[in-house]
Amino acid sequence: MGEALPDSVPQHVAIIMDGNGRWAQARGLPRKAGHRAGAESVREAVDACLELGVSFLTLYAFSSENWNRPQKEIDALMKLLEQFLKSKGKEFSKKNVRLRTIGRTNLLPPSCREQLAKVINDTSGNTALTVILALSYGSREELTDATRRIALKVQAGELDPADIEKETIARHLDTAEFPDPDFLIRTSGEFRLSNFLLWQLSYAELFISPKNWPDFRKTDFREALEDYSRRQRRFGRV
């Protein structure tokens, strides 16, 4: 007999996967070892979503600010991303998982873009879970790009400024085809959003774990969702 499921499961979970570097540093290991260990936690989060019935999982994998890290670490992260995509492509297909992405992925190395496009295409028909990788992503950049697209439509006479509503903005975001996250998990005990889904997380429930991401496993994910199930979401109502 398996463990009981939480009473209320969020449709969409977003995760800020923080603490890979600190995990490695605490063990006297190079930072890239922390990123490798974090990839295993991604697998466990995906499996937990499949078991619990979560439909969408967004992972903050590489932020726009991460381009400011030392080139050696960026190169290691891009190599790890490519390896992750190669290894997970078949696994995602086997588990009926669809891969999508948000962010300025045109800035990724060509080999990463090619592998990303391949996995997205190969998994496009899968229906059990959609995993959304935020790559070269920043919410302010996303909102800037959306504003520019809307302005161009106004300039072309395709859109009246008086008709711009909240839904108009949402339709021009990278996440237009996905529901907003119900639940945000951040690891490593940090209490900030770090330029992640600022528009989409407006009404999300937040969960901060003191554990570094490589230590955050399926049991921790389940406990977080159990915490979510005990909350009352009012959306400003009494």
User: In the Cβ-directed half-sphere of 196, how many Cα atoms lie within 13 Å?
Assistant: 27
Instruction: Provide the Cα torsion 71, 61, 35, 6; round to 10°.
Output: 170
Looking only at the bridges linking them, the beta strands covering 183-186 and 12-16 are parallel
Instruction: Provide the Cα torsion 174, 178, 181, 185; round to 10°.
Output: -70
Q: Which residues contact 224 (CB under 8 A, 6 or more apart)?
A: 183, 185, 207, 209
Question: What's the token pair of residue 65?
Answer: 């600010």
Collapsing DSSP to helix, strand or coil, 209 comes out as coil
Whole-angstrom distance, CA of residue 194 vs CA of residue 206: 14
Residue 56's DSSP bridge partners are: 12, 130
Whole-angstrom distance, CA of residue 131 vs CA of residue 45: 10
CA distances to 173, 190, 198, 237 from 144, in Å: 10, 26, 12, 31
Residue of 7, 20, 47, 66 marked catalytic: 66
Residue of 18, 174, 180, 220 marked catalytic: 18
- Mark whether 7 is an active-site residue: no
Contact 101, 120 (CB under 8 A): yes
Whole-angstrom distance, CA of residue 181 vs CA of residue 13: 5
- Mark whether 18 is an active-site residue: yes
The residues annotated as belonging to the active site are 18, 66
